[in-house]
Amino acid sequence: KERLPEQAQKQEGKQSSTELVSVSTMRKRTDQEGGWELFQASCYYFSNDIMTWDDSERNCTGMDSHLVVINTGAEQVTFTGSEGMNYCIGLIDKEKKGQWHWVDETPYNDTAAFWRPGEPNNDPSEYCAVMHVEGKQTKHGNRNWNDIACFKLYNRICETAALIF
Ligand SMILES: [Ca+2]
Ligand SMILES: [Ca+2]
């Protein structure tokens, strides 16, 4: 985890805690620096490639992280704004019973869930979750999660705690 303190120090000056960075900006920085984007208490990685949900989670854990877990409304807001892409998030209904679980064991809380209206639509084949980052807080505002078929290929956002010493 040595990269994290270094990354955190490097970016400390360039980002105030109140600044809201658009997902496009975060993604661009990830691309340019091939690294991780610091926001509040976490570092995020935006993939360029697409994978199934399982492979996405495996890829994140291989980098000492996990698919992004949305803990607060503020964190959710971080991932809204112009893009038009689907990203796997760390939410899965493993037993296909309509019971959602976060990959890091954070308790799933309906009141801190940001499903698009009408989602999850509980289609029998849809038990993995993505967020669809769409342009300019459109009609659905910050509510951009969708349950999707796990075998389909999507981009991903990995998250790991920012270690600042
Ligand atoms: Ca989080
Ligand atoms: Ca759906």
CA of 98 relative to ligand 2 center, distance in Å: 12
pLDDT tier for residue 58 given thresholds of 50, 70 and 90: very high
Give the tens place of pLDDT for each residue, 76-119: 888 876 678 899 999 999 999 889 999 999 999 987 899 999 99
- pLDDT(30) > 50: yes
Give the tens place of pLDDT for each residue, 4-28: 544 444 444 444 444 556 677 777 7
Which ligand approaches the C-alpha of residue 150 most closely? 2
Which ligand approaches the C-alpha of residue 41 most closely? 1
Question: In degrees rounded to 5, what are phi and psi of residue 66?
Answer: -150, 165
Give the tens place of pLDDT for each residue, 136-161: 555 677 889 999 999 999 999 999 99
**Distance between the two ends of the chain, CA-based, in angstroms?**
12
> The pTM is what?
0.81
| Contacts (Cβ under 8 Å, ≥6 apart) of 96 | 124, 127
CA of 136 relative to ligand 1 center, distance in Å: 22
Mean pLDDT value of segment 45-74 = 94
Residues belonging to the chain:
165
Query: Hey, what domains does the chain have and what are their CATH numbers?
Result: 3-161 (3.10.100.10)
CA of 12 relative to ligand 2 center, distance in Å: 38
Q: What is the pLDDT of residue 16?
A: 41
Q: When comparing pLDDT for 30 and 10, which is higher?
A: 30
Mean pLDDT value of segment 54-83 = 90
CA of 120 relative to ligand 2 center, distance in Å: 5
